[in-house]
Amino acid sequence: MHAIVYHGPGEKAWEEVTDPVIEQATDAVVQVDATTICGTDLHILKGDVPEVSEGRILGHEAVGTVVRIGAGVRTVRVGDRVLVSCITSCATCRYCREQRYGQCLGGGGWILGHMIDGTQAELVRVPYADTSTYRVPDGISDEKILMLADIMPTSYEVGVLNGHVRPGSTVVVVGVGPIGLAAIMTARLYSPGHIIAVDRAEPRLRAARAAGADTLVDADRDDVGKIVRGLTGGLGADVAIEAVGLPETFEEAVTLVRPGGVVANIGVHGRPATLHLEDIWTKDITITTGLVDAYSTPTLLALVEGGRLDPSTLVTHRFTMDEFDLAYDAFAHPAATGAIKVVVTRPR
């Protein structure tokens, strides 16, 4: 088969590799019908994730068809169309029993495209297939389901739920790339009073409006703090969601939240950020972080199936697997291409 193989910082290639095989009784091998590129993949290519070794197949999101299963697999069958989650769960360790699957002690967590070969390939081995894949409802497109592999549960769990978004909340989202837009879409499920989107790119701000933001703030031209305080009686936002992963955006998010509010950090950070405790220690601010656990995937699937959520609106560019280099180039340069999410499919 062919796959995107990591060859060290800045280096990757679509090349021929050995087909995956069943290694454990709980494994499944899935034919990848659709996959995507995540901001985390770009972080890997920058060298921000040193645990990823040379020769690793990248990717941790897919919709596909089961082609082989191990003897211990009970709920997945050959021929099933499934969502492959970005998080793998053994289902039995302490953390999995607490639904903190991202911290799995049994060989799960974020392993695809990280510790084991991932989904940017024609085939992928999925450990713990019974608890790490989800059957796709009939009649739902690959694009709608694919966004539930990572960015929708990440934004929902690490941003909206950790941030304690409530009816009437004022929410500011700092950075409206794919994960920030997904945070806006899932925040709307809780009827916030106002959603403020902050970014430097006009196309992303327009996308934020379409996703449900009420106020758009250009971080280069506008006084972000003044606008947020003006909309909140001088207090600041109830919830500030950081969705970039840069020291300056994290530090800005902290300045935008009101006393007693919550800063929910979603962004993947490759450098340290400064926490100005000398300024905020009296403000009773809660700061949350977290790796997605994907415990919300069944809920999000039900919302998609019921027509309450349509993540496919985030897809702007489509490629086939023999165009992976073009897909990476488009996704890595959104200011030039307007890319939000790309979908890469098996040639028909």
Per-residue confidence (pLDDT) for residue 187, from 0 to 100: 98
DSSP character at residue 306: T
Per-residue confidence (pLDDT) for residue 261, from 0 to 100: 98
Per-residue confidence (pLDDT) for residue 26, from 0 to 100: 98
Per-residue confidence (pLDDT) for residue 98, from 0 to 100: 97
Per-residue confidence (pLDDT) for residue 168, from 0 to 100: 98
Per-residue confidence (pLDDT) for residue 250, from 0 to 100: 97
Per-residue confidence (pLDDT) for residue 48, from 0 to 100: 86
Residue with tokens 């193989």: 5
Alpha helices in 16-66 (DSSP H): 39-46
CA distance 42 to 40: 5
CA distance 294 to 323: 29
The continuous run of DSSP H or E covering 215 comes out as: strand 215-218
CATH number assigned to the domain covering 2-150+293-345: 3.90.180.10
User: Do the first three CATH levels of 2-150+293-345 and 153-288 match, i.e. the same topology?
Assistant: no
Closest CA to 196 of 220, 166, 231: 231
Per-residue confidence (pLDDT) for residue 1, from 0 to 100: 97
Residue with tokens 């950070």: 269
Question: Which residues of the chain have a pLDDT value below 70?
Answer: none
| Prediction pTM value | 0.95
Per-residue confidence (pLDDT) for residue 184, from 0 to 100: 98
Domain boundaries, the chain: 2-150+293-345, 153-288
| 88-143 pLDDT per residue, tens | 999 999 999 999 999 999 999 999 999 999 999 999 999 999 999 999 999 999 99
Per-residue confidence (pLDDT) for residue 263, from 0 to 100: 98
Per-residue confidence (pLDDT) for residue 347, from 0 to 100: 87
Per-residue confidence (pLDDT) for residue 348, from 0 to 100: 76
Q: Which amino acid is at 126?
A: V
Class of domain 153-288: alpha beta
Per-residue confidence (pLDDT) for residue 270, from 0 to 100: 82
Alpha helices in the chain (DSSP H): 39-46, 94-97, 129-132, 142-146, 151-154, 178-187, 202-211, 224-231, 247-256, 277-280, 297-305, 324-332, 334-337
CA distance 311 to 298: 15
